[in-house]
Amino acid sequence: MHVLIINGSPRVKEYSNTDKIIARFTEGLAENGTTFEQYEISDRKQWDTIRDAFYKNTDIIIALPLYVECIPGLLMEFLETLTPKTDGTRLSFILQSGFAEGIQLRCGETYLEKLASYLGCTYMGTLVKGDNFGIRFVGAETREKITGQYMQMGCEYARNGGFTSEECRKFTGPEIFPAPVRLLVGLMFRTAAKKNFIKVAKEWGCTKPLDYRPYQ
Ligand SMILES: Cc1cc2nc3c(=O)[nH]c(=O)nc-3n(C[C@H](O)[C@H](O)[C@H](O)COP(=O)(O)O)c2cc1C
């Protein structure tokens, strides 16, 4: 099998968490002899090539980060330039996000199922997983812990041609955290994480407080 993989993140390849996920995922694909070609939506110069590849290929994965509960605007802009297919193309999605609970990706997942039919493709499932905020900030060992799990899913895809298996469903992890964990995470965001956000903002040259509301 040969798969077209489109990275739908608006972040350039070097800084894209989705790219790091794809890198490990495709190692799993390769184990079963599946080949692939990959393109980035963030690089507008590639859009003509991606469109050609979309029309030419019949096994396609769009890998995307959740941006404000749904799909990134730049990806949407690209998708609107496509004409629906009629050749029985199988379309799957890798949907990943910052926050860990599966439940907050479900709305996006439902949309992606509809999107496959808008594009004239057969929907082959979505691999849903959060907890990926840190990929580009953490050291090599922690990054490997986060992204390494996707290699197994690459093997699953190569075996089944989609993400419809029970293994893929389980990959999401907890749908919702238990109440004590939710309280703890809330507390962490108001204290340690907030301190860290402020530090990162300062390093990036931000001079206003993070809750600054100039238009209020
Ligand atoms: C503008 C923006 C909106 C985001 N919205 C969400 C969100 O609604 N839920 C979530 O869990 N993560 C959200 N995230 C986090 C990203 O999904 C996460 O960091 C992802 O790994 C980024 O992948 P990328 O680097 O390939 O773009 C958002 C990130 C950005 C920059």
Q: What pLDDT, on the 0 to 100 scale, is given for residue 79?
A: 98
Q: What pLDDT, on the 0 to 100 scale, is given for residue 137?
A: 86
Judge contact between 115 and 79, C-beta under 8 A.
yes
Q: What pLDDT, on the 0 to 100 scale, is given for residue 85?
A: 97
Which domains occur in the chain, in start order?
2-176 (3.40.50.360), 177-216 (no CATH)
Q: Locate the ligand 1 atom nearest the alpha carbon of residue 130 and give its number.
A: 11
Nearest Cα to 54, choosing from 77, 33, 81? 81
In tens, the pLDDT along 43-75 reads: 999 999 999 999 999 999 999 999 998 999 999
Q: What pLDDT, on the 0 to 100 scale, is given for residue 216?
A: 82
The rounded Å distance from CA 23 to ligand 1 centre is: 18
Judge contact between 89 and 82, C-beta under 8 A.
no
Q: Which two tokens stand for residue 160?
A: 């089944």
- Residue to probe by mutation, ligand 1, list 97, 103, 146, most atoms within 8 Å of CB: 97
In tens, the pLDDT along 194-206 reads: 999 999 999 999 9
Instruction: Tell me how far CA of residue 75 lies from CA of 43, 113, 143, 187, in angstroms.
Output: 11, 16, 25, 34
Q: Taking the complete model, does pTM exceed 0.85, yes or no?
A: yes
Pocket, ligand 1, Cβ cutoff 6 A: 9, 11, 16-18, 65-69, 96-99, 104, 130, 132-133
Instruction: Tell me how far CA of residue 115 lies from CA of 5, 13, 43, 69, in angstroms.
Output: 16, 24, 22, 16
Identify the segments of the chain with pLDDT beneath 70. Answer: none
Cβ count near 166 (within 10 Å):
8
The rounded Å distance from CA 12 to ligand 1 centre is: 14
Nearest Cα to 89, choosing from 127, 60, 49? 60
